[in-house]
């Protein structure tokens, strides 16, 4: 009930204040739920750490697949944490209060997406150089790896929000969520991994960053609108 009361407090304030209140609320709740906060990070670390055991400890082989390994692990870690985006709000009724708020739902959904990225995406970006070193990624590709993840992981959260919004009312949604989100996220994974690989071979990567930036701009514009519409359909 306290969460619903916090959502009700959004009424009667400016859009910016409502945006900040929603963002702050989601971050505080995430910090209180330590397990939900640590699970994606630990999953990311474990998956990347297991690849050398399953492929080969040879530095040359690991270096050739390191970009793809880190990106696939980042995508899977994002998928693991997506269910927390609206589930708790749906179960305690605060999601309905959010939908009834006079503030534009676009900005409230965007605030929740940003909070999700800060919790699950930003730690992946910060940890990526360490794991890239473990996979023998050449040092000249480190910054490209970090920058592509910094641009790409918000897209994973934004596109994932659409799938979660569509399935929030379903009891069993794991497979359906994957079917919806993975096709949307795959282009980002391909472009991000290809940019890191091209840097390793001395090829230009400006076009890759341009594509990632364009996808991020599209996701920031359209994904919260699609998520808001999907939430109205799912809740009603």
* pLDDT for residue 159: 93
Taking residue 196's Cβ as centre, other Cβ atoms within 10 Å add up to 28
Q: Among 114, 41, 115, 127, which Cα is nearest to 77's?
A: 41
In Å, how far are 46, 52, 76, 137 from 69, measured between CA atoms? 12, 10, 11, 11
Q: Which tens digits make up the pLDDT trace of 24-69?
A: 988 888 888 777 778 888 888 888 888 888 877 788 888 888 888 9
Q: Which tens digits make up the pLDDT trace of 128-186?
A: 888 888 888 888 888 999 999 999 999 999 999 998 888 887 766 667 888 888 888 99
Residues 148 and 188: their CA atoms lie apart, in Å, by 9
**Domain residue extents for the chain:** 2-235
Residues 82 and 25: their CA atoms lie apart, in Å, by 17
Structure tokens belonging to residue 95: 């999601």
Answer whether 196's CB lies under 8 Å from 145's CB. yes
Structure tokens belonging to residue 175: 């497979």
Structure tokens belonging to residue 133: 């070193």
CA 180 to chain centre: 14
- pTM (two decimals): 0.87
Among the residue ranges 34-43, 118-127, 207-216, the one predicted with the least confidence is 34-43
Answer whether 150's CB lies under 8 Å from 156's CB. no
Residues 210 and 170: their CA atoms lie apart, in Å, by 37
Q: Among 23, 114, 141, 124, which Cα is nearest to 78's?
A: 124
């Amino acid at each position: 009930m306290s969460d619903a009361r916090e959502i009700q407090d959004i009424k009667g304030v400016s859009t910016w204040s409502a945006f900040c209140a929603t963002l702050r609320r989601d971050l505080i709740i995430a910090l209180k739920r330590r397990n939900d906060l640590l699970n994606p990070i630990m999953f990311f670390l474990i998956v990347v750490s297991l690849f050398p055991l399953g492929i080969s400890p040879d530095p040359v082989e690991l270096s050739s697949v390191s970009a793809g390994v880190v990106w696939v692990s980042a995508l899977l870690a994002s998928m693991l944490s997506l269910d927390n985006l609206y589930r708790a709000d749906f179960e305690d009724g605060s999601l309905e209060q959010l939908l009834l708020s006079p503030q534009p739902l676009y900005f409230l959904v965007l605030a929740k997406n940003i909070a999700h990225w800060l919790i699950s995406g930003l730690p992946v970006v910060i940890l990526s150089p360490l794991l890239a070193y473990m996979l023998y990624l050449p040092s000249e590709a480190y910054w490209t790896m970090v920058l592509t993840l910094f641009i790409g992981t918000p897209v994973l959260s934004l596109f994932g929000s659409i799938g979660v919004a569509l399935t929030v009312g379903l009891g069993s949604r794991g497979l359906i969520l994957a079917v919806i989100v993975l096709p949307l996220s795959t282009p980002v994974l391909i472009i991000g991994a290809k940019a890191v690989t091209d840097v390793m071979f001395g090829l230009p990567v400006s076009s890759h960053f341009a594509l990632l930036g364009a996808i991020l701009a599209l996701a920031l514009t359209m994904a919260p609108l699609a998520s808001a519409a999907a939430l109205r359909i799912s809740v009603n």
